[in-house]
Amino acid sequence: MARRNHRKLARSFYSRATLEVAPEMVGKYIIYHSPAGRLSARIVEVEAYIGQDDPACHAAPGPTKRNRVMYGQPGHSYVYLIYGMYYCLNFVTEKPGFPAAVLLRAAEPCERLEVMRRNSPRQKEEKILSGPGKFCRSFGLSGVHNGLDLTGSTLFLEDRAEVAPVIASSQRVGIRKGTDHHWRFYDDNSSSVSRR
C-alpha cells in the first residue's frame, strides 16, 4: 500500500505547458507494476519535445501512425523503438490535439533492483537506469507499453513530498535539429545522470 505522503500524479499534472511539467518531473518517482513485481525509481533526467514546430519532436512531420498517442490525452505513455534495438519511454503532456511529451532519460533505482539487474546484468547500481534505452531495458518496458494511461495502476508517477532537487538544464542529447533549445532538465547532484 502506498504511504499517505506518496501521491500518484493526476492527469492535471500532465495537462499543462511541457516546460512547466518537465522540470517538475525531476525528483518524482516512477512506479511500474511489472510481472516480476513492483519496480520503482527516482527520476533524475528528462527532456521536453514540444509540438510540430520543434524539429526534434517526433510530431514535427504532423500526425502519423507512430506518433499518434502524442496527439491524444495527456497522462499517457509514448514508447517507441530507436536504432532498431532500444525503447524510449515518454509521458504525453499538454491538451489533446497538441503533440508534446517528456522523455525519461535517467533515474536512480529504488525498489526491486534485483529485477533490473536480471534485465541488465553488467550495470553498476547507479548506472543501471542511466540513459533512455537502459532505463527501458532494465525496467522491462517495450512497445507493448505504448499508450498506457498513467492514471491507472500499472505505470504511474508519484510525488513523495521530498525537498525539491536543484535543477540544471542544457541542450538535448543525441539530436541533430532543435539544438538551440535547452530543454533537458536534470538533478545536478545525482550520479545517475546520463551525461555531464
Partner DNA sequence: TGAATGATGCGCT
Partner DNA sequence: GCGCATCATTCAT
Q: How far is residue 195 CA from its own chain's centroid?
A: 16
Looking at 36-44, 60-68, 109-117, 157-165, which segment touches DNA (CB under 7 A)?
Answer: 60-68
Looking at 1-9, 21-29, 80-88, 111-119, which segment touches DNA (CB under 7 A)?
Answer: 80-88
The Cβ-side half-sphere exposure at 76, using a 13 Å CA radius, reads 19
Cα distance between residue 36 and residue 19, in whole Å: 34
Q: How far is the CB of 172 from DNA (least distance, A)?
A: 7
61 in contact with DNA (CB under 7 A): yes
Residues 85-124 that bind DNA (CB under 7 A): 85-86, 88, 90, 101, 103, 120, 122-123
Q: Are 30 and 102 in contact (CB under 8 A)?
A: no
Residue with cell 491538451: 95
Nearest to 23 by CA among 132, 167, 135, 156: 167
| Residues 136-175 as x/- pattern, contact with DNA by CB under 7 A | ------------------------------------xxxx
**Closer residue to DNA in complex, CB, 37/174:** 174
Q: Are 130 and 108 in contact (CB under 8 A)?
A: no
Tell me the three cell numbers of residue 114.
534485483
Cα dihedral 173, 177, 181, 186 in deg (nearest 10): -10
83 in contact with DNA (CB under 7 A): yes
In the set 64, 179, 189, 191, which binds DNA (CB under 7 A)? 64
**Closer residue to DNA in complex, CB, 93/151:** 93
Q: What is the number of other CB atoms lying within 10 angstroms of the CB of residue 150?
A: 22
Q: How far is the CB of 85 from DNA (least distance, A)?
A: 5
Cα dihedral 130, 135, 139, 143 in deg (nearest 10): -170
Residues 13-52 that bind DNA (CB under 7 A): 47, 49
65 in contact with DNA (CB under 7 A): yes
Chain contacts with DNA (rule: CB under 7 A): 47, 49, 56-58, 61, 64-67, 78, 81-86, 88, 90, 101, 103, 120, 122-123, 131-135, 172-177, 194
